[in-house]
Amino acid sequence: MSNKLIFYALFYTTFDNEKSSNAISTDFDSLLKLHYSSISNPECYYHKYKKSIKYITVGPIDIYIYKDNGIHKLDTESMDENGAFYSSYLTFNDETGNINLKEILIYLTKEDHKIWRKIREDIDNNNIQVNDHVLHNSFFYDNSISYSNVVPDTYYEEGIMNA
């Protein structure tokens, strides 16, 4: 029996090759249905930017967990009831050497998410101090994470990063 958890994302890729997701699910087939159901509302934000979308695809999204002061691939044995999924980005170099961002899910405990929020607030207010934040690796300093957790099978009009 595999302990690997697979989430799929509804990805929108722009003509500038920026890729973001607006929903996640463990059910691959549900995401396009969710997309069409959501955009059937003429007030849906999608209609304001649909001309900039080159592709709409569904595919796996990488899932990580923050533990032991680092991020690691998530397996279901690492999950507990005190955590939730959040959206974030990893940076990587593409085949041409350009730095790109890849949207990911990260599983955080409520406690770690609270610490991350405090660190981001201190950064935004130019109020970085050496305190218990030093126990957390640079992931918390260098990456944005969605403010709220990302709920599966929910359509986020402005993307899961804006949850």
Each residue's pLDDT tens digit, 77-124: 667 778 899 999 887 777 887 877 889 999 998 888 888 888 778 777
Q: Which two tokens stand for residue 70?
A: 């680092």
- Residue where the block lists tokens 């660190």: 119
pLDDT band at 72 (very low <50, low <70, confident <90, very high): confident
The sheet with strand 7-14 has its strands ordered as: 19-25, 7-14, 53-61
48 is a domain residue = yes
* Paired sense of beta strands 63-67 and 70-73, if any: antiparallel
pLDDT tens across 24-49, in order? 999 999 999 999 999 999 999 999 99
94 is a domain residue = yes
Model confidence, pTM = 0.84
Backbone φ, ψ for residue 27 (5° rounding): -105, 100
116 is a domain residue = no
Rounded mean pLDDT of 10-25? 94
Look at the chain and report how many structural domains it folds into: 1
Which helix (H) or strand (E) segment holds residue 124: the answer is helix 110-124
